[in-house]
Amino acid sequence: MMRGFLRYLANFSQVFAAAWHRFWFQASDPSPLAVLRIFTGLAAIDYFVSWAPDLQYWWGQDGILRPEDVRNLLRFTDEAGQFYGISYLNLLESPWLLNGAHAVAIVVAVCFTLGICTRVASVLLWLELLSYVHRAPMLTTHLDPVLTAVVGYLCLAPCGTRWSWDAWRRNRVPVQSDEPVQFDSTVTTRWTVSSNFAQRLIQVHLTVFYLLFALSKLGGDTWWNGEAMWWLTAQSDSPLLDASGLGRDPIWINVWTHAIVGIELLYPVLIWNRWTRPLIMMAAIVSWTSLALVTGRITFCLLMIGLQVAFFDGLSPYPLDESHGEDSSDG
Amino acid sequence: MATQNDKWSDALKSVASAVLAIHFICVLVVCTANVSPSQLQARLVKVLAPYTRVLNWDPNFTRFQWTHAVPEHDDHRILISKEDIQKSDASAEVLQFGIRGSLRRARHQALADFMAVYAAPGQELDDVTALIAGRVGNFALRRRNETGSVKVRVDGWEPQLMAPASAANPSTASTWGTIYSAEVWADPGGEVQVLKDAARGEVALPQAPLGTGPQETGGSPGVVTP
């Protein structure tokens, strides 16, 4: 009995090690990461541009949240609050310096999106996003934790190898010295382990997020009894669409609520199977679209839709090639 | 067309595997502790904070459940007025910038939500609400080039319950209710005083003179030094 169990453990560790290796350390096409770079870059541009009109209001010398205020608020409300506040923005008291640093942040986000010096831009963008979060963590929205995580992972990847200024510059082939440069479409895309590694990091973190979305909802009665979407549609300021008329017919509110929780519960399971992946992706897109209309968190919901690309194999969400048929699960 | 390229050494893979395992255990711990953490989870979150908070892996300020149908999860807004807002909303300015659905608007809502959480009955943290109310009031006075006082109020939306099919649209009966109200005084020297309006019925006679700020309305004073 004991010997059988030990043999099982030995076999299990071998199979697990092989699957782990295949999952994390094989080379892959960086194209999905390039698409993710563009989506997250656009979200980052929106993030920084949306701060611009209110920089002095929030963080100016007479602003609402001075560095010492943020420290005090965190001291009162958060036991581990002392680990926030690591931000270069705390050092910028002059309006000129604050506005200048903010302009630089927008330029970096644009460079990242267009793939200009992508590797440097991605690291700078990540540090800037963290600095903004740390400057006033009580102002974070749903977008901040997702955006900082994805940009952090993209720092590890060659996400500028396609659809970028960097790729265009690299692929230019001078035909003759006195003729204008031409784009050489035959230049190949380099598959790398780091592409796969970063893509897997984003995939796993996304499934953890979905697990968090589902479990945090199920921590309250309202998502169990099917009324949660009513409480969202019946708000005053958040909804973009007046769907409160649905309150007269609770069945539709119940269907909507249960569907959102169901999709978020099933997502971390079905996304790993290549045959169920397109189905759960479509369901997630519908779910995020409906949530965007009701909660008003447009950038966050659009980013969550865009992040579905993290599960693309190359540039397709579909299992098109029969030669890959044996490998039905990535894990 | 693509070429397969580059390989990682076994040593690099081992290090990467160990880092991966540690990283995702940390992420899983802080994410699952987002709502109603156990004592163990709360302790682990604190232990892991130097990593998870600094690099923002911990979404502790984010309400991913959207709503649990409690007042703290409803929409909130901050209002400022020179007059007593309790008597008339006509002169009140809603501190809410940006168009609906924008990140700019979401941040103003986040501040109002943050105040509302710590003004809610049973969770009052007057230090928190007084600090923000003081800054908001001071900002409003400076913007208008005024001294004296301004009223700061936090309202919360009170949605009605779902109604049966025969009833009228239940959202029409929803309304704003006041969660927090205070008078903010700023003197020319720059000192700001916050005098919280106590709810009717909760006002108790002071045992001793309160000492700071005007006291005609009763309530608990706080001082914010700029």
Q: Are strands A172-173 and A182-183 parallel, antiparallel or unpaired?
A: antiparallel
Give the pLDDT confidence of A243-253 residue by residue, as tens digits: 888 888 889 99
pLDDT in the model for residue B144: 81
Answer yes or no: is pLDDT of B164 > 70: no
pLDDT band at B4 (very low <50, low <70, confident <90, very high): low
- Please give the average per-residue pLDDT across B138-153, as a whole number: 87
A327 pLDDT above the threshold of 80: no
Distance CA B1, CA A319 (A): 19
A212 and B59 in contact by Cβ < 8 A?
yes
Mean pLDDT lowest for which of A83-97, A238-252, B23-37, B156-170? Answer: B156-170
Residue B171 has a pLDDT of 62
For residue B107, give the nearest of A141, A148, A201 by CB distance. A141
pLDDT for the residue A328: 43
Exposed e or buried b per residue across A135-173, where buried means at least 16 C-beta atoms within 10 angstroms of its C-beta? bbbbbbbbbbbbbbbbbbbbbbbbbbbbbbebbeeebee
Stretch B119-137: mean pLDDT: 89
Torsion angle (degrees, nearest 10) of CA B52, B55, B58, B64: -170
From B75, B196, B53, select the one nearest B131 (Cα to Cα). Answer: B196
User: Which residue is it, tokens 């598959």?
Assistant: A191
Q: What is the pLDDT of residue A254?
A: 95
The answer to whether the CB of A240 falls within 8 A of the CB of A292 is yes
**Chain segment B53-99, per-residue pLDDT in tens:** 999 999 988 999 999 999 999 999 999 988 665 555 667 888 888 89
Dig out the tokens for B161 from the structure: 């319950």
Q: How far does the CA of residue A1 sit from the closest CA of chain B (Å)?
A: 31
Size of chain B in residues: 226
Name every chain B residue with its beta carbon within 8 A of the beta carbon of A242. 171
Q: Does A251 touch chain B (CB under 8 A)?
A: no
CA distance linking residue A207 with residue A25, whole number of Å: 19
Residue B221 has a pLDDT of: 45
C-alpha span between A58 and A10 (Å, rounded): 58
Q: What is the rounded CA–CA span in Å between residue A36 and residue B143?
A: 42
Predicted local distance difference test score (pLDDT) of residue A26: 93
**Tens of pLDDT along A261-317?**
999 999 999 999 999 999 999 999 999 999 999 999 999 999 999 999 999 988 888
Three-state SS annotation for chain B: CEEECCCCCHHHHHHHHHHHHHHHHHHHHHHHCCCCCCHHHHHHHHHHHHHHCCCCCCCCCCCCCCCCCCHHHCCEEEEEECCCCCCCCCCCEECCCCCCCCHHHHHHHHHHHHHHHHHCCCCCCHHHHHHHHHHHHHHHHHHCCCCEEEEEEEEEEECCCCCCCCCCCHHHHCEEEEEEEEEEEECCCCCEEEEECCCCCCCCCCCCCCCCCCCCCCCCEEEECC
Cβ–Cβ below 8 Å for A189 and B46: no
Closest-CA residue of chain A to B50? A83
More confident residue, A80 or A19: A19
Query: Domain-by-domain residue ranges, chain A?
Result: 28-168, 199-319
pLDDT at B146: 80
Picking from B160, B163, B162, B164, the residue whose alpha carbon sits closest to that of residue B176 is: B160
Minimum-distance CB partner of A53 among B63, B104, B142: B104
Give kind and range of the element (H or E) at residue A190. Answer: strand A189-191
Nearest CA in chain A to B36: A219
Between residues 144 and 203 of chain A, which touch chain B (CB distance below 8 Å)? 144-145, 148-149, 152, 186, 188-194, 197, 201
Tell whether the model's pLDDT for residue B209 goes beyond 80.
Answer: no
C-alpha A118/C-alpha A109 separation (Å) is: 10
Residue A173 pLDDT: 64
Helix, coil or strand: residue A183: strand
Whether the predicted pLDDT of A329 surpasses 50: no
Query: Can you read off the two tokens belonging to residue A77?
Result: 């409300």
- Return d(Cα A256, Cα A283) in angstroms, integer: 12
Average pLDDT, chain B: 81
pLDDT tens per residue, range A3-58: 999 999 999 999 999 999 999 999 999 999 999 999 999 999 999 999 999 999 99
Nearest residue of chain A to residue B111 (CA atoms): A139
Decide if pLDDT at A114 tops 80. Answer: yes
Residue A260: predicted pLDDT: 97
pLDDT for A181 equals 53
Residue in chain A lying closest to B97 (CA) = A54
DSSP H helices in A225-297: 228-233, 250-270, 277-295
CB-CB under 8 Å, B101 with A296: yes
Cβ neighbours for B155, distance < 8 A, ≥ 6 positions apart: B76, B77, B79, B176, B177, B178, B179
Which residues are CB-contacts of A85 (< 8 A; sequence separation ≥ 6)?
A67, A70, A71, A74, A134, A135
| Span A134-181, pLDDT tens digits | 999 999 999 999 999 999 999 999 999 999 999 999 888 665 555 555
Instruction: Find out whether A235 and B160 touch, Cβ atoms under 8 Å.
Output: no
